[in-house]
Amino acid sequence: MSKEDVIEIWTDGASKGNPGVGGWGAFLKWKGHTKELWGGNPSCTNNQMELTAPTEALKLLKRPCKVILYTDSQYVQNGITKWIHGWMKKGWKSSTNTPVKNVELWKALYAETQKHNIEWKWVKGHDGIEGNEMADMLANRGAEEAGTKKF
């Protein structure tokens, strides 16, 4: 499979307070095209937004794809590649036998990952990586928009 057949996705979450107003962002690249996604929540945690970003980006894909998904969240990276299998075996209990936090978001992300061939890559945040900087900007846009909405 050539590089052109791979969709690259960078995701990020942001929270102004934890919990507080939050946003998520995703920046997608494929065959020279780009797509920007973002959204927000008036009351959430940073981890909730970090989980929402890849879920929403993967939902956008209409057919099974080869994906390289970049995240600056070790929580997401380790959770989806290492911890989730143990959680599922234990009925969504953590290693300390307590309920997994954000379980509905983890289940939603896991369901989307089953549709695609995904290579997960952790990147250092705020390190000048174009895709990560774009995802960060989009997450902050989502948080800003969520903070100005009247509910």
Catalytic amino acids? 12-13, 50, 72, 126, 136
Q: Are 22 and 48 in contact (CB under 8 A)?
A: yes
* 64 prior amide bond cis, ω within 30: no
